Structure 1
């Protein structure tokens, strides 16, 4: 599929933060619980420090006690090692677990990264969702070689499944693709509108808008495939362009 799809090199601070993202809760008495989580307290070009925080609460969530430094984990970027400290046996176990996870994460990508790579490759083949929930897509025939490579890659993964089912070039099949493409355009339009109305974070809205621009760009590759009156889909494409342009202008302001 090409090295261009390879994810970026794992950054040590990212692996460190991922290793210290877990939360833990335990019951210490009847109706009394300890909540543990890591919070970042310092970061520069030499190191990143995160403290293990312990909050004691009752069943109603009322805070009974708070310890901001039950443990510390400090990443030394130059030596590529983590130094720890702790005040209790429980804190020792949690910070040592973080060190173990860091040793794994600094050399291994997470499942989210893998899913992102797989979805980006899929998007490059102009997919049209056949199901609302995803998982089944129509891919134009010109991507046959790339699709074969993609399914081979997916099947090589643990629990990875991917199948190619050729569609017969009939009126019914073209009608199905046309309907699904129209629904995809409508869903994209609604996602743009909802993103603006709900005032999503800039990064989240930008991702929606980038996807919308891709969908409109992909549409022209389907014009020779779809059937019937195309004015409705062309109108949706125009509305998506308008929504994207308006949203990007607001973001810039």
Structure 2
């Protein structure tokens, strides 16, 4: 699933390419991935509208139109949002195509069709429950060791599960949670509330470090992730534990292990993480 770095990289590229361009029309190729409004109303909402810019909140992308309308994309597990300058390429898994005046297209594709698209008119509440309940951005000033210490206080759930709760931290997913816990030396099954102030400080710094590294490497691609140009990330070449079960820990040389925490595959070093 694209996580914060991957979605942010898509946002940055599309925010360079799309502002000032006009959506001529939208082809909805799989209607069940359009969650709101009805297809005809959505097509009327976007047709002829000039694009203002692309924002990100957590793992959501928000395309603002000049009239105040907003298109919300949630890529989920296998979704992609790619700008095609020619407008002639066709992804076999394209689910929605925004044809642009003067040529080119913005293509929403999704192999497993878990992604969602919403359209909201100017002045209408952006009623996407997951978007409305997001916690602070981990690369923002609001995310501090003090915030983390307060948020985990008294919580008995595993710290890995806490990190994946989007209501607590926006945009963090399986890959970067595993990498953060490794860098901080914290076992993924530790009760969240058991972390000390010093460990909170170390974990907050680790989260920001691994996210910035992911951004610098263009994101992580194992299977489906594509950036806004349709290219691949490189961060998978620099991961310490994620997807490395049985391989040597970069710190102690012992094998990385894989377990399940809260239903999610979790990679860690049992010797370096306590």
Q: Report which structure shows greater RCO (CA 8 Å, sep ≥6).
A: 2
Q: Which has the larger radius of gyration?
A: 1
If the length of structure 2 is used for normalisation, what is the TM-score?
0.21
Q: Which has the higher helix share?
A: 1
